[in-house]
Structure 1
Amino acid sequence: MGELISIIVMATAIGMDAFSVSLGLGMQRIRLKRIAFIGIIIGLFHIIMPFLGIVVGKFISAQIGDWTLLAGGLLLFGIGAHMLFSAFNREEKKVTRTTGIGLIILGLSVSIDSFSVGLSLGLSGMKTALMLIAFGLASMVLTWIGMLIGRKVHGILGAYGEILGGSILCGFGLYILF
């Protein structure tokens, strides 16, 4: 049960980047059907990217042996720290196109962090299928929530969501290390 809670919290932390980006997207008055589709695409990218990271992480794990747990913890902490610092150094980014190649670029850009997290999870040996499903579902739901809130609120929560997600990842990195 404790591992399931850890997985849910980590998936939520991973989805916070998608949440913060979707707040801005929601202010573009996108139709509800399009919001649903965007959330599904972002959720799929949050399954594919960590899966690729896990595959690479398992390969690296076989190469570096006993150092994998240390490397995984350091990597999670580093990703969390990067999210924290980028939340404070945020420049206004405009993502106006949510169709075609623009949607693919959006999905890739918000899920690139999850590749690194997947890499560290591949190094630490956590349950792969459960993690991937949790990452995808959490990102999809957080994208929907962010876009719906973005329709009502004007970008106040964006940086705070990323700060929370970064703090959680730092915490998990420290937990693995110690």
Structure 2
Amino acid sequence: MSEITLVLLAMALGTDAFSMCIGIGMAGVRRRQTAVITMTIFIFHIFMPLIGWYIGGVLGNLLGRVAVVAGAALLVYLGGRMILAVWREGADNSARSMIDSLWGVVLLSAGVSMDALSVGFTLGTRNVNLLQAAGVIGLVAGLMTFTGLVLGRFIGSWIGSRAQMAGGAVLVGIGVKLFWG
């Protein structure tokens, strides 16, 4: 696999994290949270291909689908709460409380990293330096995560109170996309 192909694969795997982080950033995220979320997604995107390579396709597909459904449901719930809160009384802190907890960050990171699990199995069947591939996938996903959070925070401050509704809609959309596949 060429370096360009590997980077394109890594970018494709990082798009869910990027999109999700725009929504989270629009709801409001502190610098510490940005660092924690970026590092967690970075780590997940390194280890998921390695795990996928080691445990094989059958278990990876079974575990991957369960985690994707749970992650999708979580994003739809979180985005829905954000949208409803804007209509009811103003800002909702669901997204912020979710990313304040390490368990919440881990769940979100796992949800957007599941596709890397099955990619790991595929990479294991090819003549690929798996450690290099996992490192590139993690690095690109980490950069896309950071960019999404910063861009979302900028957009959120730019469009004001409508940012939370837009961020909620982004999270719901990503959750639906993850659920349907």
| TM-score, with length taken from structure 1 | 0.64
User: In structure 2, what is the Cα distance between the partners aligned to 1:124 and 1:29?
Assistant: 41
| Percentage of matched positions with identical amino acids | 29
Structure 1 residue 26 and structure 2 residue 13: aligned? no
- Residue 111 of structure 1: aligned partner: 113
* Aligned residues of 1:56 and 1:122 also touching (Cα < 8 A): no
Gaps of 5+ in 1: 61-74, 76-85, 163-178
- Residue 132 of structure 1: aligned partner: 134
- Residue 71 of structure 1: aligned partner: none
| TM-score, with length taken from structure 2 | 0.63
RMSD value over aligned CA atoms?
Answer: 3.1
List aligned pairs for 1:95-110, cutoff 5 A: 96=95, 97-98=98-99, 99-110=101-112
Distance 1:116 1:93, change over 3 A: farther
Once the 2 structures are TM-superposed, how far is the Cα of residue 127 of structure 1 from its aligned partner?
A: 1.5
Q: Which amino acid aligns with 1:36?
A: A
Q: Which amino acid aligns with 1:12?
A: M
Q: Which amino acid aligns with 2:110?
A: L
Once the 2 structures are TM-superposed, how far is the Cα of residue 41 of structure 1 from its aligned partner?
A: 0.6
**Secondary structure at the residue paired with 2:142?**
helix
User: In structure 2, what is the Cα distance between the partners aligned to 1:18 and 1:55?
Assistant: 24
Q: Which amino acid aligns with 1:28?
A: A
Distance 1:103 1:55, change over 3 A: same
Once the 2 structures are TM-superposed, how far is the Cα of residue 124 of structure 1 from its aligned partner?
A: 2.3
Gaps of 5+ in 2: 62-71, 80-93, 156-162, 175-181
- Residue 55 of structure 1: aligned partner: 54
* Aligned residues of 1:23 and 1:150 also touching (Cα < 8 A): yes
1:52-99 superposed Cα distances (whole Å, 9 cap, x missing partner): 111234x88xxxxxxxxxxxxxx9xxxxxxxxxx9xxx9675372012
List aligned pairs for 1:159-178, cutoff 5 A: none
User: In structure 1, what is the Cα distance between the partners aligned to 2:49 and 2:4?
Assistant: 19
Once the 2 structures are TM-superposed, how far is the Cα of residue 30 of structure 1 from its aligned partner?
A: 0.9
